[in-house]
Amino acid sequence: MFVLSAGPVMAGESLTDCVAEPDDRLRLACYDNFSKRSPGSSIQSPGNPVPVAKQPAAATEMRPGASEMSKAWELGENDKGGTFALKTYWPNFLLPVHYTSNLNRSPSSPTHPTSPDNPDYRKTEAKLQISLRAKVAENLLLPGADLWFAYTQLSLWQIWDRQDSSPFRNTDYQPEAIYVVPVPEKMGTLPFGWHLRMLQLGAAHQSNGQSDPLSRSWDRVYLGAGFERDDFSLLFRLNQRLDVRSGDDNPDLVDYIGRGEVKMGWTPGVSTVELTWRTPFNTLSRGSLQMDWTYPVFAAQPTGLRWYAQVFTGYGETLLDYNHRQTSLGLGLTLFQF
């Protein structure tokens, strides 16, 4: 039996001593003193010690379930949001000031004559984009793979041309089906901290809904791959055009706008930057380069209304301009994002 003291038990005392103490009052005091030897220590049974919980090590790499790309495309099991829930696809914006260096007043194509000139059209117009998507099937064919349907509408609006009643100069309509396959973490880990997050197989139709000689359209299938590293993302897509006929509205379209594209996203803080490069691969004189930048209108609401700036240079800002080279600058606001 050990002697009870007012302070902590001595270093040589143990729980065995406490258990052996016949006096209930002294035994409880022994337990109490033993528990005070190290703050936060637990009373343990000598024959069955409670393991100390290990603190999780700092994450050295981003898991698919924790990545922005995984959240956006619901790649991980914890990211799944069910079917038929509407989400944004590409950015939704209104640019009331969109200035072009070379307005296409007389669009043409190899199979259609040059359209009548529009001398009243102004180089400053508005640009509007609405882009939405919804998942229609989850875990389809492959583990975690989903099928999405999307719709994007892009318009150039001569809002400042009051003489012609502010017409829409062109509107492109693009319905799309996208099959998205998540890449397992072990297979997708790449050098320098990069991760292959997903593969895509898509089919899209794009047309401007106009009659000849301004009609433009094409159908395509594409393969895509999404990569991510910290706050950077890359999306590669290769397009294969379908059903090119002799009387096609724009048989040489891919020679101008390109057969593939690369999208690079960067989120430095609360701002976002996206760079899109489209290329025909066989020349650098065609294709296009576009940069999109956003920043919150109100610093306290980074997910709310955002300023939007866009710079474009090259061919194919719209289908009507697929073979027309120009440089444009647009300023405005995002419309919504969810």
Give the catalytic positions in this structure. Answer: 205, 207
| Measured distance CA(201)–CA(177) in Å, rounded | 8
Q: Which two tokens stand for residue 242?
A: 């379908």
| Contacts of 66 by beta carbon, 8 Å cutoff, 6+ apart | 59
Alpha helices in the chain (DSSP H): 15-20, 24-35, 68-73, 185-188, 253-257
Of 254, 251, 169, 172, the C-alpha closest to 205 is: 172
Return the bridge partners of 221, or none.
Answer: 203, 240
Give the DSSP H or E segment for 179: strand 168-182
In single-letter form, the type of residue at position 169 comes to R
| Measured distance CA(18)–CA(27) in Å, rounded | 5
Strand 325-334 to strand 146-157: parallel, antiparallel, or no bridges (unpaired)? unpaired
| Contacts of 267 by beta carbon, 8 Å cutoff, 6+ apart | 68, 231, 273
